[in-house]
Amino acid sequence: MKNIIMLVSLITTTFALVACGGPKQDPQDVRWSKPQRVLEGCDGAMSNSQQCQKNPNAQQMMIQIDKN
């Protein structure tokens, strides 16, 4: 009886670990866009920065790279 319980728990653990791993993605399949310069104001990503708290009209040049 103990052997059957041990076998069932081993199979269950194996399936759980395989399910959590998910599919593997080949690193060569990931493609990134070319970096683009973006002028960002205080209404976007910088809204909570110290720079925007001091000067609400501040702008900063940022780089945007997207995963295709």
Q: pLDDT tens digits, residue range 11-41?
A: 888 887 777 766 666 666 778 888 999 888 8
Is pLDDT of 55 > 80? yes
Is pLDDT of 51 > 80? yes
Number of domains in the chain: 1
The answer to whether the CB of 32 falls within 8 A of the CB of 66 is yes
pLDDT, residue 2, reads: 83
pLDDT, residue 27, reads: 65
Instruction: Quote the DSSP letter at residue 27.
Output: G
Q: Show the domain range for 29.
A: 2-64
pLDDT, residue 22, reads: 61
d(CA 12, CA 39): 52
Query: Is 8 in a helix, a strand, or coil?
Result: helix
The answer to whether the CB of 52 falls within 8 A of the CB of 58 is yes
pLDDT, residue 31, reads: 80
